[in-house]
Amino acid sequence: MLRNDATKLSLILLMTPFILWIVLLIILPQLGIGYLSLREKLGPNDYKFGFANYVDFLQEPIYWNTLLRTAWMSILVTILSLFVGFPIAYYIAKIARRRSRAALFLLCLIPLWVSDLVRAFGWIVLLRETGIISGALQSVGLIEGPVELLYNDVTVVIGLIYTVVLFMIVPLVSTLDGMDNSLLEAGYNLGGSRFTVFRMIVVPYAMPGIVAGCIITFMLTAGSYLTPILLGGKNSMWFTEQIYDQFITRYNWEAGSTFGVLLLVFTSFVVWLGLRLTGQNLASTVAKD
Amino acid sequence: MNKMKLLATVSALVAITGTASQAETLRLLTWGGYAPDEVVRLFEEKYPDIDVEVTFSNNEEMIAKLRATRGAGFDLAQPSHDRIYAAQLEYGIYKPLDLSQIDTSVMQDGLLKSVKDNTTIDGEVYAVPHQWGTSGLMADITKAPDINSWDDLCDPEYKGRTSMRLRRTILLGMAFSMGKDPFAAYGDLAEYQKIMDEVTEKLIACKGNIKTYWSGGDDLSNLMLSGEVVASETWDSTAYKLYGEDANIVFVPPETGALAWIDTFAIPAKGEADDAAYKWINFVLQPEIVTMMSASTGALASVKGSIDLLPDDKKAAVKAAFDDAAIENLKFFVNIPAGIEDIEGKSLERIKAASQ
Amino acid sequence: MLPLRAAPARKESLMFDLESDKITKRFGTFTAVKDVSFEVPSGSFFSILGPSGCGKTTLMRIIAGFETPSEGDIRIKGKSVLGSAPNKRNVKMVFQHLALFPMMNIGENIAYGLKCRGENRTDIKRKVTAVLDRIGLPGVEEKHVSQLSGGQKQRVAIARCMVLEPDVLLLDEPLGALDLKLREHMKIELKQLQHQFDTTFLYITHDQSEALVMSDNVAVMNAGRFEQIGPPEELYNAPKSAFVAGFVGDSNRFSGKVSAISGGEARITLANGQEVLAGIDDKALFLGAKVDVFVRPEAIFITRREKAAADSPQTLLKGVVDSLLFNGANSRVLVRLEDSSLVEVDHRIGQGEDRFNKGEAVLLGWEMHAGQCFAAKG
C-alpha cells in the first residue's frame, strides 16, 4: 500500500512539469489568442464577439497572398533542405567512421550556438553589395562592378535552409543509424542497382525520419521571423511580419491574433496534407519510439 | 537617438526581479542610448538606495508592453509626445504627473507647452519633454548633392542608391513634399485616406528606386558608410553620428520642413516607484548630465540653451544642418487620433507587398 | 511451380557451381583469408565451419562480391565473377539476421529481386505465390515481417533468394539468432529445403553440429586457412590436424611424448608417467616428439577397477569418478585422473552397465586406433 502510494506520488511529480508546461505555455496562450481573434473592435474599449477579423483577412488579398507565399516558400525550403540534408545525414550515419561521427554532428550544431540575429547579420556581411562575396568576385575578375546579393527571394531561401537544415539532419541521422547495413547489402545482393536500393530500401526505411524532419523544418520556416526580414529587405513579405506589424505597430491585437490562429491552422493543414500524401501518420514519424 | 530593439527576455527579467529587493528599484522603459551607463552610475551614487534597471525599446513596443500589462512592470517610460494621448484614452496605461515634483523651470517653454498641450486629458498632464529631434534627410554631398526634398529619394538619378524606413514618418514626409498637409487632415479620416492613397501610389512607384528599407540606426549607418546608399530618410541623431565619422554625410532638413518629435517622460499607470522616477527626471535635466546624455543619444535636450550643452562634434553637426529658417520650418508631430494608424498601416502594407 | 534448372547442365560431371581459387584477402597487415581453394559440386550442401574470427565471413563476402580478394579468383559455373558487381552475380545470400526489409510486406520482400530484374507483374505474382507454397507458407503475402515467427522468417529469407533461381545460395549463420529447440528443427528443415530446391548451398557456421548434420561436405577453417575438407564422417573419424580433431565433435586431449613407434602405432608417455597407445598418420613424428592424443568420449571404455579384466584394451588409465553429467542419451561420466586432469566418458546406462557413483575408482581404456595423435603446437 505504502509502496503503491509512493509510486503514485513520484508519477505525479514527474508529470507535473510536463502538464504545467503544456497548459500554461501552450494551451492557455492559444486559447487567449483564439479568444482575442474573435473580438471585433467597434471603437475604443468597445468590442463585440464575431468573425469580422477573419472576414477582413479574406477580403484583403495582401494578407492571404502573404500567407500563401510564406507557405509556398516554406515548402520549397523544406524540400531543398531535404535534398541538402539527406546526403549529409547519410554520410554521418552510414559512411563516416564511428569516431568522426560525433565531430561531424557537432559541426552541424555549430550554427545553433549563435543567435538567429547574428547568423542573419553574418549573411548580410557576406552578401551585401560591398560585402565579402561581391568583393571576392570582383577581385578575381568574374564580375565588373559590385553586385547586390541581398534582398531577394533566393537569398531568403538560402538563409532559411542554412537555419533549418540541422533539424532535417538530426531525425534523418537517427533513423538511418538504425538501418542495418545488411539491408543495403541484401538489396544489392538480390540484384538492385544503386538507384533501386536507394529508392526501394533506403528511402522507405528513412521515411519516418524524412517526414519528421520535413514537419519540423516546415514549421520552423513558416514561423521564422528574423531571417526572411533581414535577408529579404524591402521584398521580404513573410506572414510572421504581418503578425508583428498588427500587434506592435498597429496596436491591432485582434487582427494579430487572427493571423496567428490562421498561421497555426494553415501550417497544420499543410502538414496534414503532407502526411496524407506520403501515407504516413504522426505516430509513425514524429512520435516514433 | 539610437533606436534599437532588445530581447523580450530582458524585460521579463526586469519584471520578475523588479520588486523584491530592499532598495527601491527604478524600472526604466526607454530608447537605446537614453540611459548611458555613466549616467546610471552617477544617479546610483547620488541615491544609493535606488537601483536602476533599463529596458530599451521603441514607441510601438513601449506601448505594446504597457498595454499587455495595463501599465505595470515599469516605473518610467519615454514614448514620443504624439503617442501619449490616444494610448491613454484607449488603454489607460499612464498616470497623471505631479508637476510640483518636477523642476520644469529648466525646460524650454515652447517644448514644454507643446508637450503639455498634447498630453493633457481632463486637466491632468501626462508627460513632460526630455529630448527632441527631427526626422529628415541625410545625403553624402559628394555623391548626392541635390537632395533637399523627401521626393528626391525617388529621383531616378539615384536609382538603387536611396533608402527609407517603411514607417509613418516617410508617409507624412512624402505627403508634405506633394504639397499636402497631413496633420491638418487628421480630423477628417476620408481626406486623410485620400492623401495616403496618393502617397502610397507614389511610394510604390518609388520602390524600385529604393535599395532597401532600413530598420534601425546601425543598419542605416552601415548602408551610408559603405556607400551602398547615398541618400536616405533618417533620424537627425544618426546623421550627426555619421557626420563625426565622415564629414561628407550631412543631415538635410527637407524644404517642406523636418518632422520634429519630442521624447517625453511619462509614468506608467501601475508604476511602483514614482519618487525615484521624479528624481531621475530632475537628475537628467541637470546641465552636466544633459551633455552626457546628448553625447549618447545624439538628440537635443529640451532644456534651455541645449545646443550649447551639446558635445563639440554634435554641435558642429547640428550647426551644419540647421539654420534659423530651418528651425522655424520644423513640423512637430501632432497627436494621432483614432483611425489614423489603421489607414497608415494599410498603406504601409500595400507598399511592402507591392512588387517593384 | 518454379521452373526447374535445365537438366542437361547438371549432368556435366565436372561442373562445379562454385570454385574458389587461391583466394587471399588482406586488411592492411592482417591477413583474413590465406590461400583458400575449394570447389562445390552442383546441387550439394557445402559448409564452412570455423570459430568466430577465422575469416569465414570474409570469404563469404568475397563470394557475394562485397569484398574484393587481394589475390585469387572466384568462379561461378566456371566463369570468373571478380569483374561483376554484387548485384550482377547470380549468387544470393541469406544474412545472419536475415535482413528482411521491414518496410515491405512478405510478398513485396520476395518480389523485390524479381522487380529489380524487371519482370512483369503477372510473372512476379505467380512466382511469389509458387515459392511461398513451396516453403509451406501459402497466402502470407500481405503479412508484415514482424507477424511471422523466427522459423517462418527464416524460410521467407530463403524463398526471397530462391525465387531468383541462384547458382549458389550463401547462408551466413542464419540459425544463430534462433533458440535451441527451433535451431534443431531448422537444421533438418534447411536440409530438406536444399533437396527440394536442388540448389547448391554454401553454409557458414561456427556450430559443428549444424555443419555435420546438414552438409555433404564441410571445410574446417582456422585462422584464415582451410584445415581440412571432406564429408562429415571423415572429419569426425579421420581428422587431419589437431585443430580439426579438437573442433569437430567432442574430444579428450592427452599431452605427452612419443616413447616408441612401431608401424602405425605409437606409445606415448603422459606427463604423469602413464602410457597410452595411439594410431599415427603423421610421418614427421619422431621418438621424443611432444604430441597430443585426442580420444572421443564414446570411444572410451570405463570399468570399475576391481572388475578389470585381463582382455581389457591396450591403454588403461586409473581414475576416480568426479561427477555425473546427465543429458539423456548424451550423458557423461567425468573422471579425474591421477594427475587431476578430467576426462569425459560416455555413460552408457542400460547397456548392462550399472550406474557409476561419485568417488568410485575406475579404469579407462580405448582401442588403439580410437586415439588420434598429432604433433603438439608450441
For residue A143, the model assigns a pLDDT of 84
Residues B217 and B346 in one domain: yes
> A135 phi and psi, to 5 degrees?
-65, -45
Closest-CA residue of chain C to A178: C102
Q: How large is the angle between the packed helices B340-353 and B168-177, nearest 10 degrees?
A: 90
Question: What is the distance between the alpha carbons of residues B107 and B285, in angstroms, rounded to a whole number?
Answer: 8
Give the per-residue pLDDT at C364.
85
Residue B248: give the domain boundaries.
135-259+332-353
Over residues C143-183, the pLDDT tens digits come to 999 999 988 999 999 999 999 999 999 999 988 878 888 88
Q: Let me know whether C278 and C353 are in one domain.
A: yes
Q: Judge: A185–C64 Cβ closer than 8 Å, yes or no.
A: yes
The answer to whether the Cβ–Cβ distance between C103 and A192 falls below 8 Å is no
A51-63, pLDDT tens digit by residue? 988 998 999 888 9
Average pLDDT, chain C: 85
Collect all residues with Cβ–Cβ distance below 8 Å to A277 and sequence separation of at least 6: none
Taking residues C200-228, report their average pLDDT. Answer: 92
Q: Are residues B248 and B176 in the same domain?
A: yes
> How high is the ipTM of this complex?
0.80
Rounded Cα distance between B307 and B87, Å, is: 31
Cell of C48: 564452412
C66, C168: one domain: yes
- Do B82 and B178 lie in one domain? The reply is no
Average pLDDT over every residue of A112-139: 87
Write out the H or E segment, with its range, that includes residue B165. Answer: none
Instruction: Domain of residue C213: give its range.
Output: 7-243
pLDDT of residue C283: 64
- pLDDT for residue C15: 75
How many C-beta atoms lie closer than 10 Å to residue B146's C-beta?
A: 12
| Three-state SS at C68 | coil
Number of H helices, E strands in chain A: 14, 2
- Does a structural domain hold residue B1? no
| pLDDT surpassing 80 at residue C217 | yes
CA B249 to CA B253: how far, in whole Å?
Answer: 13
In this structure, of B120-129, C198-207, C293-302, the range with the lowest mean pLDDT score is C293-302
Residue range C288-305: average pLDDT?
A: 85
Q: Which domain holds residue A190?
A: 51-114+153-284
Q: What is the CA radius of gyration of chain A?
A: 23
Chains touching C, CB cut-off 8 Å, 3+ pairs: A
Return the H-helix or E-strand segment holding B74: none
- Look at residue A95 and tell me if it is in a domain: yes
All residues of chain A having their beta carbon less than 8 Å from the beta carbon of residue C115 are: 196, 200
What's the rounded Cα separation, in Å, for the pair C295 and C249?
Answer: 11
The pLDDT assigned to B9 comes to 41
d(CA C172, CA C202): 9
Residue C286 pLDDT more than 70?
Answer: yes
Contact between C95 and A193 using a beta-carbon 8 Å cutoff: no
What's the whole-number mean pLDDT along residues C99-125? 94
Residues C39-91: pLDDT tens digits? Answer: 999 989 999 999 988 999 999 999 999 999 999 999 999 899 999 999 999 99
- Tell me whether residues B353 and A65 touch, CB distance under 8 A: yes
Q: What is the mean pLDDT of chain A?
A: 88
Distances (CA, A) of C246 to C209, C243, C252: 14, 5, 8
On whether the CB atoms of residues A288 and A208 are closer than 8 A, the answer is: yes
CA gyration radius, chain B: 20
**Is residue C215 over pLDDT 90?**
yes
Cβ(B76)–Cβ(B27) under 8 Å?
A: yes
pLDDT reported for residue A284: 67
* Sign of CA pseudo-dihedral A32, A33, A36, A38: negative
CA distance B128 to B76: 12
Supply the pLDDT for residue C308: 58
CATH of the domain at C125: 3.40.50.300
pLDDT in tens, A208-232: 899 999 999 999 999 999 899 888 8
Q: Does residue C316 have a pLDDT over 70? A: yes
**Whether A207 contacts chain C with CB within 8 A:** yes
pLDDT (0 to 100) of residue B75 = 95
Percent of chain A with pLDDT over 90: 45
The pLDDT of residue C9 is 41
With beta carbons less than 8 A apart as the criterion, state whether B138 and B231 touch.
yes
Residue B254 and residue B265 in one domain: no
pLDDT surpassing 50 at residue C13: no
Tell me the chain A residues in contact with residue C91 when contact means C-beta distances shorter than 8 Å.
189
Half-sphere exposure of B186 (CA within 13 A, CB side): 12
Does a structural domain hold residue A255?
yes
Question: Given a cut of 60, is residue C5 above it in pLDDT?
Answer: no
Position C314 confidence tier, pLDDT thresholds 50, 70, 90: low
| A284, closest residue in chain C (CA to CA) | C103
Domains contained in chain B, number: 2
Using an 8 Å Cβ cutoff, are A209 and A175 in contact? yes
Cα separation, C19 vs C63, in Å, equals 10
Q: Tell me if B355 and A62 make a contact (CB, 8 A cut-off).
A: no
Shared domain check, C191 and C93: yes
Q: Which residue of A has its CA nearest to C100?
A: A183
User: CB–CB of C281/C266 below 8 Å?
Assistant: no
- CB-based contact C20:C221 (threshold 8 Å): no
Pick B213's closest partner by Cβ from A62, A148, A233. Answer: A233
Assigned C-alpha cell, C267: 606409445
Contact A185 C99 (CB under 8 A): yes
Q: Where are the beta strands (DSSP E) in B7-166?
A: 24-31, 50-57, 76-77, 94-95, 120-121, 124-125, 128-140, 162-164
Q: Using CB atoms, which residue from A186, A200, A205 is nearest to C95? A: A186
Cβ-nearest to B350 among A44, A62, A247: A62
Residue of A nearest to B209 (CA): A234
Q: How much of chain C exceeds pLDDT 90, in percent?
A: 44
Backbone angles phi, psi at C322, to 5 degrees: -95, -45
B259-265/B128-140 β-pairing: antiparallel
* pLDDT given for residue B18 in this prediction: 44
What is the predicted pLDDT for the residue at C313? 52
Residue A263, pLDDT score: 94
Residue type, B84: I
Q: In A, which residues are within 8 Å of B63 by CB distance?
A: 251
User: Is residue C105 predicted with pLDDT exceeding 90?
Assistant: yes
| Same structural domain, C53 and C171 | yes
Among A26-40, C134-148, C330-344, the minimum mean pLDDT is found in: C330-344
Q: Give the neighbours of chain A: at least 3 Cβ pairs within 8 Å.
A: B, C
For residue A184, pLDDT over 70 is answered with yes
Q: Is residue A10 part of a domain?
A: no
Q: How far apart are CA A266 and CA A272, in angstroms?
A: 10
| CATH code for the domain in which residue C350 is found | 2.40.50.140
Whether residue C1 lies inside any domain: the answer is no
User: CB contact, 8 Å: A218 with chain B?
Assistant: no
pLDDT digits 0-9 by tens, A229-277: 888 878 778 999 999 988 888 888 899 999 999 999 999 999 999 888 8
Distance in angstroms between the alpha carbons of the first and the last residue of chain A: 32
Q: Which stretches in chain B have pLDDT values below 70?
A: 1-22, 356
User: Does A61 reside within a domain?
Assistant: yes
CATH number at residue A190: 1.10.3720.10
Residue partners of B48: CB distance under 8 A and separation at least 6: B23
